[in-house]
Amino acid sequence: MSKIVMGYWDCPYCDTKGVRGDQAVCPSCGRPRGQVRFYMKGQAQNQARRADDTADIEYIDEETARHVNRNPDWYCSFCETLNSDNADTCRSCGASRSDSEANYFQMRAKLDAARATATPATGRRSSKSFLLILAVLALAIVGLFTYLNGNTTSGDYLLSGVSWERHIQVEQHILYHESGWSVPAGGTITGQRSEVHHYDNVVDHYENVEVQRSRRVIDHYETTYTYNDLGNGLFEQVPHENPVYKTEYYTDTERRPVYKQVARYQTRYDYDIMRWTPTRTASASGTDQQPYWPDPQLANDEREGDRAEAYRIRVTNTRDNSVTTYRMAESDWRQLTPGDPLWITAKRNNSDIHISDESGNPLMPLIKE
């Protein structure tokens, strides 16, 4: 027979705590127990305990336990009193049990359901508050982004100088002696030979190998207990047999392949090939607005390669005499004259810089160096 454990309840009228479950009325205020919830001291709901962890549990003696009615109390619909399953009339108001419909568990389920339906309203308020906070943060982020991407326009600038650079890369036609597994277009074969291209792993044979393995096996069983609320101030102890495992090691034999490396040969070619190779750069620069391309003075085995050019202006801030250098397109650069006053517009994060008119309308893009 399962053991019976003493439960407790708290008086909802005078707030007396820990009233024994075998007491039908509060010892402090004398009111019969009604909308209460039975519990075990120091025991969380659905908590399982080991057999050696039950010293603080108050068991009902076996003789009394044999006569315990395991049915839940019934709940009086008229005065909200819990009555023993053995009683046909309410101890508080005398109403007949047949006029009441709920027992302890049904009463608790109804109260819990009512509490659950009330909770979402708070949840909705919390959700609305959370959404309001998110909206404020989003507006703040948008505001900050808008501010940083706003423009600042100033006319405190003077074009204090110009400069330019032009470069021509010179390539020379050079003979290279190379080798490879194939000959590129334009190459002339000067020799060939068979060489190892790569190695393949090939199974040579199999061998038996002892390996250490492990497995989980049951070592013994451990008894744990859970406690069912009987709905009458008492709880029933329910035993559970749980397996306890240990790790067992053993030796096993498995066949493993043993590999060998087999060389794979291919033809490797020696060849000569002429390649255009950058060898020098011809450059020209100046601080005027008359740029020209340098004369690379090519030899017979040379040619012009890539060209590069850069056009810069120096801008002086008339407030603090600081100087900033910008690169810009040649077509825009040629329209400017040293000594010109300038209006410059940029984002507040110092990006998207332009020479502009007084209203901030962009005229010529600039790249800050």
**Domain presence at residue 202:** yes
In this predicted model, what pLDDT tens digit does every residue of 153-175 receive, in sequence order? 999 999 999 999 999 999 999 99
Q: Are residues 307 and 186 part of one domain?
A: no
Q: Which residues, at least 6 apart from 99, have a Cβ–Cβ distance to it below 8 Å?
A: 77, 78
pLDDT of residue 139: 81
How large is the average pLDDT for residues 115-141? 72
Number of domains in the chain: 2
pLDDT of residue 85: 93
Q: Are residues 164 and 197 part of one domain?
A: no
268, burial (CB in 10 Å: exposed 0-12, middle 13-18, buried 19+): middle
Q: Are residues 290 and 267 part of one domain?
A: no
**Domain presence at residue 306:** yes
Q: How confident is the model at residue 125 (pLDDT cuts 50, 70, 90)?
A: low
Beta strand 362-365 with 354-356 is antiparallel
Q: How confident is the model at residue 145 (pLDDT cuts 50, 70, 90)?
A: low
Helix (H, G, I), strand (E, B) or coil at 97: helix
150 pLDDT more than 70: no
In this predicted model, what pLDDT tens digit does every residue of 174-223 receive, in sequence order? 999 999 999 999 999 999 999 999 999 999 999 999 999 999 999 999 99
Distance (Å, whole) CA 227 – CA 241: 15
Q: Are residues 259 and 333 part of one domain?
A: no
pLDDT of residue 116: 84
15, burial (CB in 10 Å: exposed 0-12, middle 13-18, buried 19+): exposed
In this predicted model, what pLDDT tens digit does every residue of 299-318 receive, in sequence order? 999 999 999 999 999 999 99
Q: What is the CA radius of gyration of the chain?
A: 47
Q: Are residues 178 and 260 part of one domain?
A: yes
**Domain presence at residue 193:** yes
In this predicted model, what pLDDT tens digit does every residue of 263-300 receive, in sequence order? 999 999 999 999 999 999 999 999 999 999 999 999 99
Q: Are residues 311 and 164 part of one domain?
A: yes
Q: Which residues, at least 6 apart from 321, have a Cβ–Cβ distance to it below 8 Å?
A: none
Q: Are residues 363 and 337 part of one domain?
A: yes
How large is the average pLDDT for residues 1-26? 93
Q: Are residues 301 and 163 part of one domain?
A: yes
**Domain presence at residue 45:** no
Q: Are residues 269 and 206 part of one domain?
A: yes
pLDDT of residue 2: 83
pLDDT of residue 129: 75
Q: Are residues 313 and 291 part of one domain?
A: yes
**Domain presence at residue 179:** yes
**Domain presence at residue 185:** yes
User: What is each CA distance from 368 to 148, 173, 327, 329, in whole angstroms?
Assistant: 18, 38, 7, 13
What average pLDDT does the structure give for the chain?
A: 92
Q: Are residues 265 and 179 part of one domain?
A: yes
Q: How many residues does the chain have?
A: 369
**Domain presence at residue 142:** no
Residue with tokens 């940083």: 148
Q: Are residues 339 and 292 part of one domain?
A: yes
**Domain presence at residue 354:** yes
Q: Torsion over CA of 240, 243, 244 and 248, rounded to 10 degrees?
A: 180
In this predicted model, what pLDDT tens digit does every residue of 217-233 receive, in sequence order? 999 999 999 999 999 99
Q: What residue numbers bound the domain in which 250 lies?
A: 173-220+244-273
How large is the average pLDDT for residues 11-26? 95
pLDDT of residue 148: 58
Q: How confident is the model at residue 350 (pLDDT cuts 50, 70, 90)?
A: confident
